[in-house]
Amino acid sequence: MFKSLSVGALALVLAACVAPKPRHPMPQGPPGEAAPPPGLPLPGRAFHIDENQSELRILVYRAGPLARLGHNHVMVNRAIHGTVNWADEPGASVFSLVIPAAGFVVDDAQARSEEGPDFSGEVSEDAKSGTLHNMLSTAVLDADEFPSITVNSVAVAGAPGESGGAPGATTPAAVAPGTAVLRATVAISVAGHESKLEVPFTLQADSSRLSATGSMELRQSTVGLTPYSLMLGALQVQDVMTIKFKFVAVPSP
């Protein structure tokens, strides 16, 4: 019985990772458009996200006594749009990202191999398509109602404690020429639930390119999602997931 669950229900439910908390719809602009938060200045030079060089990667992990019946999963999205207005003073900079829910690819073979032994098991095509279908359904991302995840900057500052940075710092902590360690406060909207997060990242910048990279742990419950649990917790998904990203921006025309 458990083996049949791993092929059927687990492929559709466990892999999708989450079920929603109650939420209220929030208005969204047309998919693929990113606009800066209203009321904020737009200083500095205008850039736009290059989706050919950008990637969001989400790692989710199985848990519970029957965890062996499920898989850890890698979700990759390379269909990211957005704008950046980057000023000489990072604290005056603003950015906005749009991540299409339908742009996620589940368990890309190369991505799994890059993530090491925790993701070494093969995942069937049926399981991948079932996972994606469930993830986009009304039970999770509700992609028909909320086609995009949006991320808008609230503040950008130097990362505390990094290479001379201090709490409350508004200047970047330099780690190499053209490189700075920063921390952004962002407002993120996922399936109608809005949260504020602190996101550390490393910025590499020159006149022709901005590259922001980072990795962090994030609880699904923080962004309004409830980790899935089956059979009274015997089979479940960890609340904590790992977020990895690389966002590359190039000058706008």
User: Which pLDDT score is estimated for 237?
Assistant: 64
Note the pTM of the prediction, 2 decimals.
Answer: 0.75
- Tell me the per-residue pLDDT of 106-159, one tens digit each, with 9 for 90 and over: 999 999 999 999 898 788 898 888 778 878 887 778 899 999 999 999 999 987
- 192 φ, ψ (degrees, to nearest 5): 90, -5
* Contact between 196 and 235 (Cβ < 8 Å): no
Sign, CA dihedral 35-37-38-39, equals negative
Query: Of 19 and 246, which is predicted with more confidence?
Result: 246
Q: Identify the weakest region by mean pLDDT among 9-13, 162-166, 190-194, 207-211.
A: 9-13
* pLDDT-derived band at 161, boundaries 50, 70, 90: low
The architecture of the domain spanning 2-251 is: Beta Barrel (2.40)
* pLDDT-derived band at 181, boundaries 50, 70, 90: very high
Calculate the alpha carbon distances from 186 to 44, 81, 126, 189 in Å. Answer: 19, 16, 36, 10
- Tell me the per-residue pLDDT of 22-38, one tens digit each, with 9 for 90 and over: 444 444 444 444 544 55
* Contact between 13 and 80 (Cβ < 8 Å): no
Whole-number average pLDDT of the chain: 76
Per-residue burial over 111-124, b if 16 or more Cβ lie within 10 Å, else e, is bbeebeeebeeebe
- Tell me the per-residue pLDDT of 69-107, one tens digit each, with 9 for 90 and over: 567 889 999 999 999 999 888 888 999 999 999 999 999
Domain boundaries, the chain: 2-251
Q: Is 82 exposed, middle or buried (0-12, 13-18, 19+ CB in 10 A)?
A: buried
pLDDT exceeds cutoff 80 at 228: no
β-bridge mates for residue 149, sequence order:
99
Residues with Cβ within 8 Å of 92's Cβ and at least 6 positions away in sequence, in order, are 41, 43, 44
